[in-house]
Structure 1
Amino acid sequence: MSTATEPVFKGWAGLDAKACQGNLDFQSFEPKKWDEDDVDVKILYCGICGSDASALSGEWGPVDGVCPQVCGHEIVGEVVKVGSSPENGLKVGQMVGIGAQCDSCRECVDCKNHEEQCCPKMVITFNSPFARGNGKGSISRGGFAKYWRGPSRFAVPIPDELDPALAAPLMCGGITVFNPLEHYGAGTKAKNIGIVGVGGLGHMAILFASAMGAKVTAISRSEAKKEDAIKLGATGYIATGDDLQAAFAAHARSFDLIICTSNPPEFPIADYIPLLRPRGVFCFVGIVPKPLEFGLFPLVMSSAHIAGSNIGNPDGIARMLKFVVEKNIKPWIQRWDMDEINKAMPSFVNGDPRYRFVLVNTDNGGKM
């Protein structure tokens, strides 16, 4: 085992459902118990994701009466401690990123096929119990903190050519859209792609799909984000307004693939199916709470598919980071000092990001 310093684990914890209103509490916490495939990481940057707000506001379950929730799962930092059996060849001093998953069972078919994001025992990067090794039963703690500890398999090396602050939102938001774009052949099999929602995930989906060689159309409720969408690489834009059928009338059978990055309370999927070309795919990456309602006849007649896509595995994250460097892709971020997290979270919930907030631990060496 090698170590450069002994970390002190402190972070901003949610104690009740008012946490997102600027009530996160800075406190010490216990990391997972050490395993020899673990690493400790000095956190420099951490993106804020909608999942963090959902957890801290009680949408995913009670916040009160449970262990303090240290969220954050778009982590980038420097390795400061390495066990005796690290994966990825990690060494002290290396820059790594950790996304929404921090462990898996390592034994199921999906894990053995390097599809850990499909593991039925996947461990989320915050508020999730570890299920193996010395750390079994320990609760995962996320990146709204000074240090992170977890399995080295899920700490992905950051290329030297990539600004680590820009890498942070890629660790969850980026891979969430890169994964289905890669899987469904953006730019090759899927030459015409629609992106529903121009936000944290949507703006990265436009960047990726355009860089992959696809013709990209952004789909949003109003004209407000049209200029941004064009700057990001979209060549088309549909403002749906309140009448989707009228807005979509001229675009029937236009898209090989549509990625939905928004997560409204309900989603009118029946209005979107006619946009698909035969054998086209409509893929959700955002969670819509209300069950979908649609007739099967249009789906069957066009041999279309409705799908969902999870985050990607560590190998996919590594491919994405390489692609980002090759294509010089730069997510649009706004940096906040992590000490100002109780101002950043309410601003995030208010919908202010254009298009991703990144928290910076300046005392650890992060750059504003």
Structure 2
Amino acid sequence: MTTEDYKFEGWMGLDPSSAEGKMVWQGYEPKVWEDNDIDIKVTHCGICGSDLHTLRSGWGPTKYPCVVGHEIVGIVVRAGSKAEGIKVGDRVGVGAQNDSCLGRKGDCEECASGQENLCSKFMIGTYNGIYMNGSKSYGGYARYHRCPSHFAFKIPDEIDSADAAPMMCGGVTTYSPLKRNGCGPGKTVGIVGVGGLGHFGILWARALGADKVVGISRKASKKDEALEVGANEYIATDDDEDWMKKNAGTLDLIVCTVSSPKMPLNDYLQLLRSNGRFIQVGAPEGPLPALNVFPLIMKNIFFGGSAIGSPAEIREMLQLAADKKVKPWVMKVPMEDANKAIVDMDAGKARFRYTLCN
């Protein structure tokens, strides 16, 4: 297949109103082809909260026009002469990162150590980014996607494409901090927010062998869902009386997937044992609540953050999902209904992720 056999077109955000379900389907020029690139016929693309933030310029001015979508799964239809272990016909996934300085103009310290997601010189997002060759990156709400092969990953046969798509960002965003911060046998783990990211956190914590997983959210109404996903216990911070005092000092690790300026951050810290860890992955458009440092000081607590994951972590996550039969909660939506789906996503109607299907 040659590029004459297909064209690049997708749901284009033209201004901040596109987040209100006003994206427009139109064509665009993809990345200028290089020998390490591949073209993917998109079969599935997850909807991520990052898509909404970007469409409405919530994290800063977006480079309109913009095609969002960085939870891409599809079939390779073209592979460059230097494509890394990927050939035409392979089923692959692409996450939130499309390129880094790896192998170009000298590796940065992060890329040289296998942490390309932390590239300090040239971290390129799968959409709304500019490559070294000056091309613009366009995402997966589309028919086709072009990207460097280093940031595409073969999907194990055991994983359904609609399930694999949200793993590429939402999945690894929670897998990576859990794995890097010691989630496993002997640990009690709390996941704040039982939603698109949080339900993945519960799934991974169980798959990694944590002794106990505690779902934490505002309302008791999500308790049954959290337990069904795999949590052993549940805390409703709005509805459970004295929840902080009753659960103080019971958790080894908390991964927080929410980012509200009203969240009870200092109470969350009280849930940790001495030497516990609190990792923030929810990315706000504004500031987090003011932090009281005394819980950190008096209990030797580590407070940190995490963003997506490295290529090595994505491959590791996919294999874990295959081995442990990890099954996310996914609602399939036709690609032509993307405008309605992003509005429903913003309204909290997803249980717990939407995957667009071509």
TM-score, normalization: structure 2? 0.95
Large movers: runs of 4+ above 6 Å: none
Tell me which residue corresponds to 1:161: 158
Matched, 1:92 2:93: no
CA-to-aligned-CA distance 1:119-155 (integer Å, 9 cap, x gap): 0221001010012xxxx11110000100000100001
Check whether the contact 2:98–2:126 (CA below 8 A) recurs between aligned residues. Answer: yes
Q: Structure 1: where are the runs of 5+ without partners?
A: 362-368
- The CA deviation at 1:162 is 1.1
Which of 162, 184, 187 is residue 187 of structure 1 equivalent to? 184
Q: 1:195 is matched by which residue type in structure 2?
A: I
Tell me which residue corresponds to 1:118: 118
CA distance in 1 between partners of 2:291 and 2:354 (Å)? 35
Aligned length: 351
User: Pairwise mapping of residues 97-108 of structure 1 onto structure 2 (< 5 A)?
Assistant: 97-106=93-102, 107-108=107-108
Matched, 1:73 2:70: yes
Tell me which residue corresponds to 1:200: 196
User: Pairwise mapping of residues 37-76 of structure 1 onto structure 2 (< 5 A)?
Assistant: 37-63=36-62, 66-76=63-73
Tell me which residue corresponds to 2:264: 268
Q: 1:42 is matched by which residue type in structure 2?
A: K
Q: Secondary structure at the match of 1:93?
A: coil
CA distance in 1 between partners of 2:262 and 2:238 (Å)? 16
Which of 271, 277, 286 is residue 282 of structure 2 equivalent to? 286
Q: 1:16 is matched by which residue type in structure 2?
A: D
Tell me which residue corresponds to 2:322: 325
Check whether the contact 2:259–2:288 (CA below 8 A) recurs between aligned residues. Answer: no
**How well do the aligned residues superpose, as a CA RMSD in angstroms?**
1.6
User: Pairwise mapping of residues 238-317 of structure 1 onto structure 2 (< 5 A)?
Assistant: 238-241=235-238, 246-288=242-284, 289-317=286-314
CA distance in 1 between partners of 2:279 and 2:47 (Å)? 23
- The CA deviation at 1:292 is 4.3
CA distance in 1 between partners of 2:11 and 2:125 (Å)? 18
CA-to-aligned-CA distance 1:319-366 (integer Å, 9 cap, x gap): 1000001110111000000011121111111110000000000xxxxx
Tell me which residue corresponds to 1:365: none
- The CA deviation at 1:272 is 1.6
Tell me which residue corresponds to 1:337: 334
Using a 3 Å threshold, how does the CA distance of structure 1 residues 324 and 243 change in structure 2: closer, same or farther? closer
CA distance in 1 between partners of 2:181 and 2:343 (Å)? 36
Check whether the contact 1:5–1:80 (CA below 8 A) recurs between aligned residues. Answer: no
User: Pairwise mapping of residues 110-149 of structure 1 onto structure 2 (< 5 A)?
Assistant: 110-120=110-120, 121-131=122-132, 136-149=133-146
CA-to-aligned-CA distance 1:286-317 (integer Å, 9 cap, x gap): 02321442232221111111110111111111
CA distance in 1 between partners of 2:13 and 2:65 (Å)? 6
CA distance in 2 between partners of 1:170 and 1:209 (Å)? 14
- The CA deviation at 1:188 is 3.4
